[in-house]
Amino acid sequence: MTTIYCTHRIPDVGIKMLREKGYEVDVAENEHPLSKEQFLENLRKKPYDGVITLLTDHVDGEAFDACPTAKIWSNYAVGFNNVDCDKAKERGLTVTNTAGTSSRAVAEHTVALMLALSTRLDEGDRFMREGKYKGWDPDLLIGVDLSESTIGLIGTGAIGHEVANILYKGFGAKIIYSDPIINKSIEDDFHAPRFSIEDTLRQADFVSLHVPLIPETHHLMNAERFSIMKPTAFLINTSRGPVIDEKALVEALKEKKIRGAGLDVFEFEPAVTEGLLHLENVIVTPHIASAREKARNAMSVAVANNLISFFETGKAINVVTR
Ligand code: NAD
């Protein structure tokens, strides 16, 4: 019998699909993501054929050693920076992700962060709760219009494309982008020109990050790059925390090199860099950009389909290799 280990509860729909195929699926009971030790210990319990992991699991050589029978590691996430893909390749293992399942959810969350900053929604809410509202004031909490803004997308894969779609069609915003790969559909559908990252940063009122976390994108946003952004510009990150040098971001915000930031992911999450949470011009959410029922169910189905396809045909669907 095919046996699968899943390191945390995920929506039932995918687990049911696997059980209907006759697979035995052990789902960990833990409330929180597993510690490394617990993860390794659980992997040693049975000769599993496949493993479902979360983005918080470090899937490295030690994990592969702990469960040498598992030939497929199905990550319940779009990003797969938590998996040592080189080691997996060396050992002939298959690694999969859930590409495309949460693009709309993450794009809506990205736009929500932009709107919260542009309308000063969060600051207004705090102002009210602190009892500071004494009457209508023509100068109170003046924001900016997304419709008048230039949006600089760094990375225009599935999520970047959806962000452009919402902002171009829904708000009439101007879209520009930077991506090593020319994106014909973003250029044709949203009249978005492609620039170098520096030229994108110089022009954008909102810089929005939609890149994978790979060695080339680690600290893609750093002190030097903050200094070329407009002092009136906002930075949005719903990709992965280490894409930003968070210490340099805190400095840039304090020194008003940029106007504000909307962040769903953090360099050392769940920890947040000292000083970030004291800043008024920052809005933060706890890595919930894909936390919508539809997206999470789709992720669960994708995880199951990858496993089923692998065991039935020898080839998974969303194979990642980097
Ligand atoms: P994707 O693979 O479809 O697109 C990534 C794009 O980034 C590609 O077009 C690629 O060419 C581009 N890129 C790579 N290196 C670049 C660089 N140096 N500069 C500019 N562009 C570069 O991925 P996606 O589905 O759009 O997801 C993007 C990332 O979002 C994922 O890798 C994941 O880490 C993150 N994500 C976060 C959440 C969340 O909950 N916050 C949810 C889903 C995905």
Pocket of ligand 1 (CB under 6 A): 78-79, 102-103, 106, 154-160, 178-181, 210-213, 216-217, 238-240, 264-265, 287, 289-290
Q: What is the 3-state secondary structure (H, E, C) of the chain?
A: CCEEEECCCCCHHHHHHHHHCCCEEEECCCCCCCCHHHHHHHHCCCCCCEEEECCCCCECHHHHHHCCCCCEEEECCCCCCCECHHHHHHCCCEEECCCCCCHHHHHHHHHHHHHHHHCCHHHHHHHHHCCCCCCCCCCCCCCCCHHHCEEEEECCCHHHHHHHHHHHHHHCCEEEEECCCCCHHHHHHHCCCECCHHHHHHHCCEEEECCCCCHHHCCCECHHHHHHCCCCCEEEECCCHHHECHHHHHHHHHCCCCCEEEECCCCCCCCCCCCHHHCCCEEECCCCCCCCHHHHHHHHHHHHHHHHHHHHHCCCCCEECC
143 & 37 share domain: no
Domain presence at residue 278:
yes
31 is catalytic: no
Task: Give the pLDDT score at 63.
Answer: 97
Amino acid present at 271: A
280 & 304 share domain: no
Domain presence at residue 320:
no
How close is the Cα of 99 to the center of ligand 1, in Å?
Answer: 10
Domain presence at residue 191:
yes
Task: Give the pLDDT score at 34.
Answer: 87
Task: Give the pLDDT score at 32.
Answer: 84
164 & 226 share domain: yes
Domain presence at residue 120:
yes
Phi, psi at 83, each rounded to 5°: -110, 135
**Residues in the chain with pLDDT < 50?**
none
Catalytic residue selected from 24, 187, 251, 269: 269
Give the domain CATH number at 157.
3.40.50.720
Task: Give the pLDDT score at 29.
Answer: 87
Specify the number of domains making up the chain. 2
How close is the Cα of 212 to the center of ligand 1, in Å?
Answer: 4
174 & 58 share domain: no
Spell out the residues 6+ positions from residue 183 whose beta carbon is closer than 8 angstroms to its own.
156, 160, 161, 177, 192, 194
118 & 260 share domain: yes
130 & 237 share domain: yes
Domain presence at residue 319:
no
50 & 194 share domain: no
Task: Give the pLDDT score at 153.
Answer: 98
Task: Give the pLDDT score at 58.
Answer: 95
**Cα–Cα distance for residue pair 202/224, rounded to 1 Å:** 12
- Ligand 1 atom closest to the CA of 156, numbered from 1: 9
Question: Residue 296 half-sphere exposure, CB side, CA atoms within 13 Å?
Answer: 11
Task: Give the pLDDT score at 31.
Answer: 80
Closest residue to atom 19 of ligand 1, CA basis: 179
pTM: 0.96
- Ligand 1 atom closest to the CA of 161, numbered from 1: 26
277 & 166 share domain: yes
Residue 133: give the domain boundaries: 103-284
**Cα–Cα distance for residue pair 40/116, rounded to 1 Å:** 41
How close is the Cα of 132 to the center of ligand 1, in Å?
Answer: 41
Catalytic residue selected from 210, 240, 259, 296: 240
269 is catalytic: yes
